[in-house]
Structure 1
């Protein structure tokens, strides 16, 4: 059983999947930073400097704070602003990935429709060999 597990774990697909997951996690951090640090401030500026992440409705009478983090410490809150921020982040990431996949597909279609490159001209030696072949074929 140990040998079977080793064969399974070392197979190319499992290793490729593991590498993909690790790279995906690292790329996820980059995308999160791009969205939260670059795009969301622009969205906030368009909407008059609003920060959606601090929009909430207190569900407990004890909540008196204005920031979401402090309000969560005091009691239950309905954090619809944080949800809106996550939805906007998702839409931005989905749009960027759509554009990337569309570009890759366009390059694949272009590569598939291009004619293959012309074969290189035969060398002098190949030309001589072809002449010899043709002369032998005529004599046969």
Structure 2
């Protein structure tokens, strides 16, 4: 049973998956930084600095000034948080799309690169004959 587990755990697919997860975790930090430090300030500038995360519709209780107070007062639809997460998702999806598109373009360029052609056998034989005659 231990031998079977070792074979399973050390299969190429499992190692590739583990490497993918580790790289994905490191990549998520990079993507989060791009979203939070570069794109969200631009979105904030475009929207006039609106903080969507605190937007809500209170369905029960007295009107409240903050989302936390509104949630404590009763039923509340926190649509601003949804908008913020939707914007984050769209930005992350766009960045990942651009990364995958760039990688695919590099793969295509490598595939299109001219491969050195081998010299046909008859040409090689004629060269050997020529070299032998010269001697």
Q: Calculate the TM-score normalised by the size of structure 1.
A: 0.72
Q: Offset at 1:70?
A: 5.2
The reply to whether residue 8 of structure 1 matches residue 8 of structure 2 is yes
The reply to whether residue 17 of structure 1 matches residue 12 of structure 2 is no
The reply to whether residue 134 of structure 1 matches residue 129 of structure 2 is yes
**Helix, strand or coil for the counterpart of 1:48?**
coil
What is the Cα-based RMSD across aligned positions, in Å?
A: 3.0
Contact 1:63 1:75 in 2 (8 A): no
**Helix, strand or coil for the counterpart of 1:64?**
coil
Alignment of 1:23-102 (within 5 A): 23-61=23-61, 64-66=64-66, 68-69=67-68, 71-72=70-71, 75-102=74-101
* 2:122 equivalent in structure 1: none
Residues 96 and 10 (structure 1), Cα distance of their counterparts in 2 relative to 1, 3 Å cut: same
Distance in 1 of aligned mates of 2:72 and 2:21: 34
Q: Calculate the TM-score normalised by the size of structure 2.
A: 0.74
Residues 95 and 78 (structure 1), Cα distance of their counterparts in 2 relative to 1, 3 Å cut: same
**Runs of 5+ unmatched residues, structure 1:** 120-129
* 1:123 equivalent in structure 2: none
Q: Offset at 1:74?
A: 5.3
Distance in 2 of aligned mates of 1:26 and 1:73: 37
Distance in 1 of aligned mates of 2:4 and 2:39: 48
Residues 60 and 109 (structure 1), Cα distance of their counterparts in 2 relative to 1, 3 Å cut: same
* Matched length: 127
